[in-house]
Amino acid sequence: MVSIFKKEAAVMIDRRDMLALGTLGALALGTSSLADAASVTPDQVSLPFHGRQLHVLDLTHRLTRAFAFTPGRLSMEAVEGSGTKAGMALNRISIVEHTGTHLDAPRHFAPDGASVGDIAISQLIVPLVIIDIRKKAKADRDARVEPEDVAAWERKHGRIPAGSCVAMVSGWDPLGVVANYGSLSPDERRKSPGFDAAVMDILMKRNVIGIGVDTMSIDAGEAMPAFPVHQAWLRSGRWALEGLTNLDRAPVAGGLLFAGVAPLENATGMPARVIALY
Amino acid sequence: MVSIFKKEAAVMIDRRDMLALGTLGALALGTSSLADAASVTPDQVSLPFHGRQLHVLDLTHRLTRAFAFTPGRLSMEAVEGSGTKAGMALNRISIVEHTGTHLDAPRHFAPDGASVGDIAISQLIVPLVIIDIRKKAKADRDARVEPEDVAAWERKHGRIPAGSCVAMVSGWDPLGVVANYGSLSPDERRKSPGFDAAVMDILMKRNVIGIGVDTMSIDAGEAMPAFPVHQAWLRSGRWALEGLTNLDRAPVAGGLLFAGVAPLENATGMPARVIALY
């Protein structure tokens, strides 16, 4: 199987805005009544829904070769289909489940836990709570969401809603880290922000159903050999989202999150299209 | 690569309701305030949002081995990760892009067309129009959405909104067809409902951005060697959804559709989690 991903990450990301406003973008930006009523950007759209504007924000990184942190993690090969002669093109994708913006199912750490295919829609569209630790993450590459951060959110916004997803925004840029990997010290390479294991009990008591991060792991970098947060959270039957983006632009309270994952049976994780609605 | 899908399709589908109300279901059905306010079924949920109930319906088939209509179309193999010793499990997935409930990107038939990774969120959450041809599909396995069906919808609900997705509900059961394949005549095997090519111009004039079907092809079965609907629609820069379910339970007008596809660069299609919001 040969990788057909031909562009570098930086080029891809720049290309995104262009392409998003290309063929398909032109349709929505045309002279239609929807376009007249809607505010459209590549990552965000507002459209009329039941007498108000529904705002939708994409929390998903474009899934490019840049997320194949290890060789062979993501590749595609063209295959022939019944319509090849009629001009049809299609590919076989080979991908490790936990690539790009993705969901961790309980089965990732619990052998008998729910797989991605076992998670009902009622568990995938949930209230969104955002805990902002950008300030301390600037000073410490291994900053954690700690009990005090949860307490501070609740003092301001009230008790965390049951059934919600609690997402950490640390300002982390996973692709930037990969791009600059060579210039990092061994100590820096080991570090990335995450949830502190001490927060797990508090969130479980709130009946929180999911946690999310803008890094590639819910465990902070230095906690990873033992994965205490993965262990506690996923084995309790809950899910997690890793590699989220744009969390700084989503409302810290009052919004909803939808994790769009194809319900693949037996999968321990799955690349996703994740959105905030508000 | 060895398939690790161990259960038969029928068993999987029965299992879905159980599992959906299992570990994760129990959380949402617990004593939380969300659960008190929410109506939860495996395929549908209603939850409070901006002073009203937001209804969300899953339009997605569970992605099981039953959708691997051809051998090797879908398989998984366990891989080792950095956390294997800590109890982490993860898999490499090998899948043809157009499997299960999935999105067709323009690139499926247009070599320079947008890939799944090029479709911005503003093009994936759109007004939903449902055209019901179940009555004629009962009498004719090759029934089509024809210009008169579009006209009938517009007489009742007004002009199709620009930027919308127009979805056909024919009552087709793709997994049932596969299960009963042996008992079908050669003529019956070739047939399945779809869009008539004569409808494409009409929908393009309405600035429709996507079409959807509950069959596995937007082309009717007998049209498939030439794929006239795929050719016209995808080459115009628009997308399609195939293998949708539950369309009979969604509102025929006034709802929204969200196609949750991981934005994989260069992909011609991708399994999706598709929902209706109303």
Average of per-residue pLDDT across B139-154: 97
Tell me the CATH number at B151: 3.50.30.50
**What region does B21 belong to: left with phi over 0, alpha with psi -120 to 50, or beta?**
alpha
Q: Domain for residue A80, yes or no?
A: no
Q: Domain for residue A151, yes or no?
A: yes
Query: With contacts defined as CB-CB under 8 Å, which chain B residues touch A256?
Result: 47, 49, 54
Read off the amino acid at residue B201: D
d(CA B210, CA A46): 18
Which has the higher per-residue pLDDT, A207 or B188? Answer: A207
Structure tokens belonging to residue A202: 């508090």
Say yes or no for a CB contact (<8 Å) between A32 and B163: yes
d(CA B39, CA B56): 10
Q: Which helix (H) or strand (E) holds A231?
A: helix A228-235
Domain count, chain B: 1
Q: Name the least confident of A256-260, B6-10, B59-63.
A: B6-10
Which has the higher per-residue pLDDT, A3 or B110? Answer: B110
Structure tokens belonging to residue A195: 């949830």
- At residue A147 the predicted structure's pLDDT band, cuts being 50, 70 and 90, is very high
pLDDT digits (tens, 9 = 90+) for B259-271: 999 999 999 999 9
Say yes or no for a CB contact (<8 Å) between B42 and A164: no
Ranges A112-116, A188-192, B177-181, most confident: A112-116
Q: Domain for residue A224, yes or no?
A: yes
Q: Domain for residue B17, yes or no?
A: no
d(CA B104, CA B210): 10
DSSP label at residue B34: H
Query: With contacts defined as CB-CB under 8 Å, which chain A residues touch B42?
Result: 120-122
DSSP label at residue B135: H
d(CA B229, CA B146): 12
Task: Indicate if the pLDDT at residue B39 is higher than 50.
Answer: yes
Look over chain B and give the mean of its residue pLDDT values, rounded to a whole number.
Answer: 87
Mark out the alpha helices in chain B (DSSP H runs).
9-20, 23-28, 33-37, 134-139, 147-157, 174-179, 186-190, 198-205, 228-235
Q: Domain for residue A196, yes or no?
A: yes
- At residue B244 the predicted structure's pLDDT band, cuts being 50, 70 and 90, is very high
Q: Domain for residue B33, yes or no?
A: no
Q: What pLDDT score does A151 carry?
A: 98
Report the residue of chain B nearest A72, measured CA to CA: B92
User: Does the predicted interface ipTM exceed a cut of 0.90?
Assistant: no
Q: What are phi and psi of A274, to 5 degrees?
A: -110, 135
Average of per-residue pLDDT across B142-156: 98
Q: Which of B32, B89, B264 sits opposite A63 (nearest CB)?
A: B264
- Cβ-Cβ contacts under 8 Å between A and B: the total is 365
Say yes or no for a CB contact (<8 Å) between B101 and A64: no
Q: Which domain holds residue B222?
A: 102-277
pLDDT digits (tens, 9 = 90+) for B182-224: 899 888 888 999 999 999 999 999 999 999 999 999 999 988 8
Q: What pLDDT score does A267 carry?
A: 98
Task: Indicate if the pLDDT at residue A20 is higher than 60.
Answer: no
Q: Domain for residue B224, yes or no?
A: yes
Total Cβ atoms within 10 A of residue B235: 16
Q: Domain for residue A49, yes or no?
A: no
d(CA B44, CA A265): 19
